[in-house]
């Protein structure tokens, strides 16, 4: 009887072990970079209000990623050297993967993403990791960062080091500079809410159009700087030439004086004096 009861209890526990969260990889390099779908429990479904699947446009997704920026204070405090959360390589990787993920996602799944941006600086490294979860509620894309532009130390090229490297990485406290169509989550300050109806492509185009003008100003400034440097070099060269000429004249004068003294002391003949004088005067 006890054996039967024990078997029943064990059988009752089996479903809880079997009900592991389902994970579906959309894309992965089997290391730091991936986009995957992960099941969530009923309580989280209710809290997040997930409404998926959803068809997204890749161009819009690229524009959204490109407009996500960190607060300017991080740059001023020299914590980072850019405001962009996602660089070009991460946008190229994540954008099509997000489109596919949300096309396949059910209303009980979140999109989990991770991307390591490798930025070698001479022999040092400045690798940065973005890791978080995303889901759609009606016309809003919600992105919650677990690691925001986290600095990853150590050898990220060594296989098997991923878990330790991610655990050791230290991200910036969520402090974004919200663009039009973006806002902070109402219930979670570490959550970015993106309005999918906003024209992010237009915003990106406006930024791109402004860049040539800024580049032109920078180019003019650089040209002006080069001209100033060139003028300074010319002035310096002229001063050096003048100084050299003065020094040369002084040298000739000294030599002639010595030559005159040699003649007065009758140490050289008049012919030798005249020949040597002509030779010295050639240096003028």
Round to whole Å and give the CA distance between 275 and 151.
79
Specify the pLDDT at position 157: 79
Query: Which residue in this structure is represented by tokens 């050297």?
Result: 81
Whether residue 98 contacts residue 130, with contact meaning beta carbons closer than 8 Å, is answered with no
Lowest-pLDDT range, 42-56, 127-141, 205-219?
A: 205-219
Over range 258-278, report the average pLDDT. 80
Specify the pLDDT at position 7: 47
Q: What is the pLDDT of residues 72-103, one digit of tens each?
A: 988 888 888 899 999 999 999 999 999 999 99
Specify the pLDDT at position 278: 79
* 156 and 28 within one domain: yes
Domain-embedded: residue 10: no
Query: 237 or 1: which carries more pLDDT confidence?
Result: 237
* 226 and 193 within one domain: no
The count of domains in the chain is 2
CA angle 162, 167, 171 (to 5 degrees): 110
Whether residue 193 contacts residue 142, with contact meaning beta carbons closer than 8 Å, is answered with yes
Task: Name the phi and psi angles at 174, rounded to 5.
Answer: -55, 115
Characterize the bridge pairing of strands 109-117 and 127-137: antiparallel
pLDDT band for 5, please (50, 70, 90 cuts).
Answer: very low
pLDDT above 80: residue 241: no
**Is the torsion defined by CA of 272, 273, 278, 284 positive or negative?**
positive
* 189 and 69 within one domain: yes
Domain-embedded: residue 215: no
* 180 and 84 within one domain: yes
Domain-embedded: residue 5: no
Q: For a pLDDT cut of 70, what percent of the chain falls above it?
A: 74
Domain-embedded: residue 3: no
* 178 and 236 within one domain: no
Q: For a pLDDT cut of 90, what percent of the chain falls above it?
A: 46
Q: Is 121 helix (H, G, I), strand (E, B) or coil?
A: strand
CB atoms within 10 A of CB 60: 19
Prior bond to 120 cis, omega within 30?
no
Helix (H) or strand (E) holding 99: helix 88-104
Q: How far apart are the first and last CA of the chain?
A: 124
* 130 and 98 within one domain: yes
Round to whole Å and give the CA distance between 42 and 232.
73
* 75 and 26 within one domain: yes
* 251 and 110 within one domain: no
pLDDT band for 138, please (50, 70, 90 cuts).
Answer: very high
Specify the pLDDT at position 10: 47
Domain-embedded: residue 190: yes
Over range 224-234, report the average pLDDT. 59
Whole-number mean pLDDT of the chain?
82
Q: Which of 57, 54, 45, 41 is nearest to 105 (CA)?
A: 54
Q: What is the pLDDT of residues 19-34, one digit of tens each?
A: 567 999 999 999 999 9
Specify the pLDDT at position 215: 55
Residue 26 belongs to domain spanning = 19-198
* 161 and 40 within one domain: yes
Specify the pLDDT at position 20: 65
């Amino acid at each position: 009887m006890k054996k039967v009861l024990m078997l029943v209890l064990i059988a009752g526990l089996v479903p809880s072990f079997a009900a592991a969260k389902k994970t579906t990889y959309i894309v992965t390099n089997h290391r730091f970079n991936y986009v995957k779908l992960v099941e969530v429990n009923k309580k989280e479904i209710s809290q997040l209000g997930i409404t998926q699947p959803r068809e997204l446009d890749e161009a819009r997704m690229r524009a959204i990623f490109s407009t996500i920026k960190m607060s300017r204070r991080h740059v001023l405090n020299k914590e980072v050297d850019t405001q962009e959360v996602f660089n070009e390589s991460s946008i190229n990787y994540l954008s099509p993967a997000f489109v596919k993920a949300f096309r396949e996602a059910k209303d009980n799944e979140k999109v989990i993403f991770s991307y390591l941006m490798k930025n070698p600086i001479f022999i040092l490294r400045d690798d940065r990791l973005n890791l978080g979860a995303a889901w759609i509620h009606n016309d809003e894309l919600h992105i919650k960062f677990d690691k925001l532009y986290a600095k990853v130390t150590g050898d990220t090229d060594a296989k098997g080091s991923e878990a330790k490297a991610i655990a050791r990485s230290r991200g910036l406290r969520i402090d974004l500079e919200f663009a039009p169509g973006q806002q902070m989550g109402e219930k979670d300050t570490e959550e970015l809410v993106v309005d999918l109806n906003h024209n992010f492509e237009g915003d990106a185009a406006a930024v791109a159009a402004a860049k040539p003008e800024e580049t032109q100003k920078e180019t003019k400034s650089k040209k002006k700087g080069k001209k100033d440097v060139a003028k300074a070099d010319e002035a310096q060269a002229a001063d050096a030439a003048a100084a050299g000429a003065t020094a040369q004249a002084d040298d000739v004068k000294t030599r002639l004086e010595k030559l005159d003294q040699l003649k007065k002391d009758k140490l050289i003949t008049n012919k030798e004096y005249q020949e040597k004088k002509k030779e010295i005067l050639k240096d003028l």
